[in-house]
Structure 1
C-alpha cells in the first residue's frame, strides 16, 4: 500500500485552491494511480479520457479535487448502469443532485465506481485493495476500494443497510453516513427511499468533514482559509461514550471484538468515560422492521424493471422482490410506524452520552467475492437515520483492516465528525 495518500487533503486543498496547475496535477496523480491499480482492483466502471473544466475549478472550495462517484448515482456525461445489465450504456439526461453540488464547488468527477446490482447483494468485479481474494464489501464496493487503493482522496457512495460503513471498514478507510435526508438522493436509483442515504469515503476524517462542510452543510466559506477551516472544524474529545454491543454481539468474530475492546481502552486512557448501553428495542426487532421496509420498497422501485427483463436480473434480486411482494400491507405500515417513532427519539439512544460506539462489521473482509459481508452492526443506525462514521482501528492477523464505528444523534453530523477526528488521532496509526 502507498500511505502517502493517507494524509489529509483539506489543508493542501485550501492552500492551493487558486492554483490551476495544482488542480491539474491532482488529476494526473489520480490517473497514474488508477492506471497502476485498477486493472486488478476493478473499482471503476467508467473513467473519461479527459476531464474538462480544470481551469475554471481553481478558486472554488473543492478546486479540482478528483472524486469518484458510485454508479448508482446519475452523471449526465458518463454512463450510469446502476450495476445492472438492464441499463448497460445508459446515459442520464441530467446529473444527480450530489453530482451537481460537486461540480458547482469545483470538484471533478474522476469516474464511476462499481456498485452491486441496484445496491443489493449481487457483487460486481471489485476486489479488496488489501487482498484481491477478499471482498471490498458492498454495495459501494468501487468507491471504498478506490479510496483504499489511494486512487482518489474522496468518493461518494450510498447506504441503505450498511453499504458505506461496512465497505469502508473492510477497505481500511473512513466512511461517513450522514443523517438520513441531509443529502438529497435525487438522481440516485432508489432501493428503499425510507432507508437510502448518500455517504462519503476518504482516508481521513478531516476529508469527509470537508465533504460535509461543502456538499452537505453547504458552507463553502469554511474552506476559504486555514483559519476559517480551523474555526469550523477541529477534533473534539467527548466527555462520555455509550458502548452498544446488542444481543447479536456474538456475530462479531474474536478479532473484531478484541480490537473493539482495545480501541475503547485507548479512548478511556485519554480520559473519556464509557457506559454500557442497550438499545431501547432489541436489534432483531429493528432488523426485521428494516428488512420489511426494504423488501416492500425495493419491490415497488425495481419490480417493474425485473418483470420486463427477467433474464437480466440476478437470483438474489429476484428473491428480494419476491419477499417484498409477499409482505402484508399491515406489516409494512407497522414497520414504518416503528421507524418514525424510534427515529424521533434518536437522542435517547445515546443514553445521555455524547455519542455511542459499536463495531462496523463482524470482522475483517470475508474471503471470496460472491458475498459482500454481514451488515448487522450497521442496521440500527440506517433504520434510525442517525449519522455514523467508521474509522480504521487496526488489522486482523491476516493483515486485513478492522474498523471502529461512532454514531451520533440525528442532525448532530458536525459533532460526530469532530468526535471521530479526535478518535482517529487517538487510536494507533493505521499501518
Structure 2
C-alpha cells in the first residue's frame, strides 16, 4: 500500500511508530495532487514547497499529538494563517487572515499539517466552483464542501474539514463515496469560520472511515484520549426513517435502503420502521426560513457593499430572508425547539435512524450541486449525522446512506456507524438496479 492510500488513523499510527515520515506521506500525496488536480479541481490553494517545509519541520520534532505529521485539507471558508481564505467569493480574493480558526489551531495542536485550501461554493451556498466528481468528471461532487470531498475521494489527502448549513457535508460525501460526519450542533468550534446562518452552521469532517472521523472528533473537541480501535462488541438497533420527503428520493435509492435494512437485520441488528411526528413534515421549509433570515443579516456587509459580486442564487436567498419578519423567524425557531423535544423518545426506541443522504447519485455538473433536502430537517433539529458509502447507482456513481443520532449522542452514533461500516465491508456493495 502506498502512503497516500492510508487513512488518517493508519497514517498517524505509521508516523508515530516511525514506519513512515511526514515527508514521505506528503510527497506521495502531492504526487497524486499533481496527477489528478488538473481534472478534479479540488484545491483553491496548495503550495508544495510550503507543505514539504512543514513536513520536514514536523519530522525533526518530537510527536506533538495524535495527528503528528499527517496532512489535512481545509475548506476555504475556514481561516488559516499563512494561506489565503477567500470563501469562494471574488469579494475576498487574496485575503490572508492573521490568525487561524479555532479548529485549525486544534488540528495544529494535535500535530496535523495543513495541506492547503479546498474549493467551496460561494459563501458555502449554491454557486459551484471548478471541482468535479472524481468518479465521473461530468458530474458534481456536491456542495458546498466540494473540494474537501473530492480531495479525500481522490486520495489526495486522508481527511478534510468541511461545514454544513443545509446539506454541505452529507451530500458531497454521498456523491463522492466517502464518510461525512456532522456532529451535534455546537460540538465543534466555529470561531474563524465564515458564517452564513449562526443557528445552523456546523463544522464537520470528510474522511475514508468512521475511525478517522472519530479521531478528528477527539481532536476538535480537545479530548485528551482517543481509542484508535475498539474491541467492544455492540450491535445497534436501527430504525428506517421514511422522512416526510421519502418520495423525493429515487426509487432505486429507496429500494437500496430497504434492502440494506434487511441485510443489517440479518447480521444481528434489531431493525424496523421509525415513525416521525406529523409536524416534522414542515421542518425542511422551516430550515429554509431560518437559513434565509440569518443569511440576510450575516451577509449584510457583502450585500450592501458588493452586491454586484454576489451570484443570483445567493441574492435570491438574501432577499427572501430580508422579506421574512422577526415573528416568522421566531416561530420557526420555536418549532425547531419543540421538534428537538418531540424526537427524543424516538431515540429511546432506536440507537440510530437510517435515511437517505441524497435523492440519488450525483447529478451532472451543469445541473448544479444537487439537492440538500435530505439534510435540512436534521440540521434544524441539531442532531448528529453521518453518511457512509454503501450503494452503487446504475451509472456507477456512489450513493451514501445517512445514519442519524440523538442530540449529544455522537458517541453512540459513531459506534453504530462503525458496526454498519463493518457489515458493509464484509459484503459486496448493493447495486441500485
Q: TM-score range by the shorter chain?
A: over 0.9
CA distance in 1, matches of 2:120, 2:367: 14
State the partner residue of 1:242: 239
Are 2:223 and 1:219 equivalent residues in the alignment? yes
Deviation at 1:278, TM superposition (A): 2.2
State the partner residue of 2:13: 14
Runs of 4+ in 1 over 6 A off after TM superposition: none
User: RMSD across aligned C-alpha pairs, in angstroms?
Assistant: 2.0
CA distance in 2, matches of 1:45, 1:151: 14
**CA deviation string 1:284-343 (max 9, x = no partner):** 410121111100100001122122112211001110010000001110011111222322
State the partner residue of 1:307: 304
State the partner residue of 2:121: 116
CA distance in 2, matches of 1:384, 1:281: 15
Deviation at 1:122, TM superposition (A): 0.7
Deviation at 1:29, TM superposition (A): 1.3
Are 2:94 and 1:97 equivalent residues in the alignment? no
8 Å CA contact retained: 1:236, 1:418:
no
Q: Report the 3-state secondary structure (helix = DSSP H, G, I; strand = E; otherwise coil) of the residue aligned with 2:21.
A: helix
8 Å CA contact retained: 2:295, 2:318:
yes
State the partner residue of 2:181: 176
CA distance in 2, matches of 1:290, 1:7: 37
State the partner residue of 1:150: 155
- When residues 292 and 21 of structure 1 are mapped into structure 2, their CA distance, relative to the original with a 3 A threshold, is same
State the partner residue of 1:25: 24
8 Å CA contact retained: 1:185, 1:198:
yes
Are 2:394 and 1:397 equivalent residues in the alignment? yes
**CA deviation string 1:38-81 (max 9, x = no partner):** 11111100002322242337352101111001001111110000
**Equivalent residue for 1:54, pick from 39, 47, 58:** 58
- When residues 7 and 252 of structure 1 are mapped into structure 2, their CA distance, relative to the original with a 3 A threshold, is farther
8 Å CA contact retained: 2:253, 2:360:
yes
- When residues 277 and 430 of structure 1 are mapped into structure 2, their CA distance, relative to the original with a 3 A threshold, is closer
8 Å CA contact retained: 2:3, 2:24:
no
Are 2:70 and 1:68 equivalent residues in the alignment? no
- When residues 203 and 239 of structure 1 are mapped into structure 2, their CA distance, relative to the original with a 3 A threshold, is closer
- When residues 235 and 5 of structure 1 are mapped into structure 2, their CA distance, relative to the original with a 3 A threshold, is farther
State the partner residue of 1:323: 320
CA distance in 1, matches of 2:11, 2:342: 40
CA distance in 2, matches of 1:273, 1:108: 41
CA distance in 2, matches of 1:118, 1:235: 41
- When residues 283 and 377 of structure 1 are mapped into structure 2, their CA distance, relative to the original with a 3 A threshold, is farther
8 Å CA contact retained: 1:164, 1:177:
yes
State the partner residue of 1:225: none
State the partner residue of 1:35: 34
State the partner residue of 2:405: 408
**CA deviation string 1:242-268 (max 9, x = no partner):** 111123211111221122122112101
CA distance in 1, matches of 2:162, 2:236: 31
8 Å CA contact retained: 2:8, 2:159:
no
Structure 1 stretch displaced more, 138-147 or 4-13: 4-13
State the partner residue of 1:377: 374
Deviation at 1:165, TM superposition (A): 0.6
Deviation at 1:239, TM superposition (A): 4.0
Q: Report the 3-state secondary structure (helix = DSSP H, G, I; strand = E; otherwise coil) of the residue aligned with 1:221.
A: coil
Deviation at 1:347, TM superposition (A): 2.5
- When residues 311 and 13 of structure 1 are mapped into structure 2, their CA distance, relative to the original with a 3 A threshold, is same
In the alignment of these two chains, the number of paired residues is 422
Unpaired runs of 5+ residues, structure 1, are 223-227
Q: Report the 3-state secondary structure (helix = DSSP H, G, I; strand = E; otherwise coil) of the residue aligned with 1:337.
A: helix
8 Å CA contact retained: 2:6, 2:158:
no
